[in-house]
Amino acid sequence: MERTILITGGAGFIGSHVVRLFVNKYPGYRIVNLDKLTYAGNLENLKDVELKPNYTFVKADITDTGSLHRLFGEYEFSGVIHLAAESHVDRSITNPMEFIHTNVLGTANLLNAALESWKDRFSGKVFYHISTDEVFGSLENGGYFTEQTAYDPRSPYSASKAGSDHLVRAYFNTYGLPVLISNCSNNYGPNQFPEKLIPLIINNILNRKSLPVYGKGENIRDWLYVEDHAAAMDVIFHRGKKGETYTIGGSNEWKNIDLIRFLCRLMDKKLDRSPGDSEKLIRFVKDRAGHDLRYAIDAGKLKKELGWEPSLTFEQGLNRTVDWYLENREWLQHVLTGDYEKYYEKQYVSR
């Protein structure tokens, strides 16, 4: 094998697309996927690659120092792509400590394991930390997030991700650990757990359940198809400049209510329902506490320096996504049990 790469959180939504891309595109790389398999981790996401000779799955927790020590002893990693995290803002509001534990302590543990293993020779190594645009706060007065934007996280989720970003940068400045960071806008696509907006709305339209819109639905997100995010990670991992940050986004801003209405129309057509049928399911519910108004990314640096561009329009991406959920109802069925249902009932209190 040319090199061995550790991907954390590879059984989750974005991680599974990154694992698939790397396993298929680089048969000469051994890809080790470390995941704790929380409610968000699902090995069904990786059925198509699980038997590939260059893929290995390890069930472990990034907050467990002993496991990481053993793993770095067993494999000679030359790269780490770190996605493992608690990732849902609403859950961070009800249970902040879990986010601080996983996202801050877990990242510190992983940094320590890489530093310990690589300290005699940093050449050829890279620790790539995957983060979010939410660390920059909320764009209330126009403009875009760039690599220069000051951090201003406002939810326990974004604050814990900001903490992890700071640690990664500190290990670069203090110890010279070769790091990369990227901060991406909202992702969507196949395999996303149906607690996040787009898969939740698709699932609810499918099952004729109400469509919960927080507040007035005027909050704006910049949406990027998950495979385009994975493609950006590929170029950053291989050609990004150590110690630098890259912001990634789709230049694709949508108000939540407009996006939900768009999905209603798209799915009415695909499901052969009368026009306007699904829109009747829309319900305005209690707003999220501290709900950030707008996120939007300027991805100019990544485009100019590394030549990355999103490959799909939003319409193409949403079509693919809806088709995937319609064709994979069994996948949806499997995740729509247990923890998710209990959480769902607690979360959605109508106004």
From the list 42, 45, 92, 186, which residue makes contact with ligand TYD (rule: CB under 6 A)?
186
Binding map of ligand TYD across residues 279-308, x = CB under 6 A, - = no contact: ---------x--------------------
Annotated active-site residue 157? The verdict is yes
Nearest to 242 by CA among 100, 339, 347, 125: 125
Q: 8 vs 185, which CB is nearer to ligand TYD? A: 185
Annotated active-site residue 246? The verdict is no
Using the rule CB under 6 A, give the single segment among 36-44, 140-148, 196-204, 240-248 that binds ligand TYD: 196-204
- Spatial neighbors of 330 by CB under 8 A, at least 6 apart, are none
Give the CA distances from residue 41 to residues 18, 37, 59, 85, in Å, rounded to whole numbers and listed in that order: 14, 4, 10, 10
Give the CA distances from residue 200 to residues 15, 141, 176, 267, in Å, rounded to whole numbers and listed in that order: 19, 29, 42, 13
Q: How far is the CB of 331 from ligand NAD (least distance, A)?
A: 13
Using the rule CB under 6 A, give the single segment among 6-14, 21-29, 139-147, 206-214 that binds ligand TYD: 206-214
The two three-digit tokens of residue 138, written as one number: 């909320």
CA dihedral 293, 295, 296, 297 (to 10 degrees): 160
From the list 31, 139, 197, 267, which residue makes contact with ligand TYD (rule: CB under 6 A)?
197
Choose, from 133, 228, 234, 253, the residue flagged as catalytic.
133
Annotated active-site residue 133? The verdict is yes
Give the dihedral sign, CA 218/220/148/111.
positive
Q: How far is the CB of 41 from ligand NAD (least distance, A)?
A: 3
From the list 68, 81, 200, 296, which residue makes contact with ligand TYD (rule: CB under 6 A)?
200
**Residue 346: how many CB atoms within 10 A of its CB?**
10
165 interface partner picked from ligand NAD, ligand TYD, none, CB below 5 to 8 A per type:
none
3-state secondary structure of 226: helix
Cβ atoms of 151 and 135 within 8 Å: the answer is yes
Choose, from 29, 55, 128, 157, the residue flagged as catalytic.
157
Nearest to 5 by CA among 332, 238, 313, 224: 238
Q: How far is the CB of 330 from ligand TYD (least distance, A)?
A: 23
Q: How far is the CB of 237 from ligand TYD (least distance, A)?
A: 23
Report the alpha-carbon distance of residue 77 to residue 100 in Å, rounded: 26
221 interface partner picked from ligand NAD, ligand TYD, none, CB below 5 to 8 A per type:
ligand TYD
Examine residue 214 and tell whether it contacts ligand TYD (CB under 6 A): yes
- Spatial neighbors of 288 by CB under 8 A, at least 6 apart, are 89, 90, 93, 214, 215
Q: 55 vs 157, which CB is nearer to ligand TYD? A: 157
Starting at the edge strand that comes first in sequence, how are the strands of the sheet with 186-188 ordered?
186-188, 220-225, 253-255
Examine residue 221 and tell whether it contacts ligand TYD (CB under 6 A): yes
Q: 125 vs 221, which CB is nearer to ligand TYD? A: 221
From the list 67, 219, 245, 247, which residue makes contact with ligand TYD (rule: CB under 6 A)?
219
Q: Which residue numbers are catalytic?
A: 133-134, 157
Contact set with ligand TYD (CB under 6 A): 89, 186, 196-197, 200, 212-214, 219, 221, 256, 288
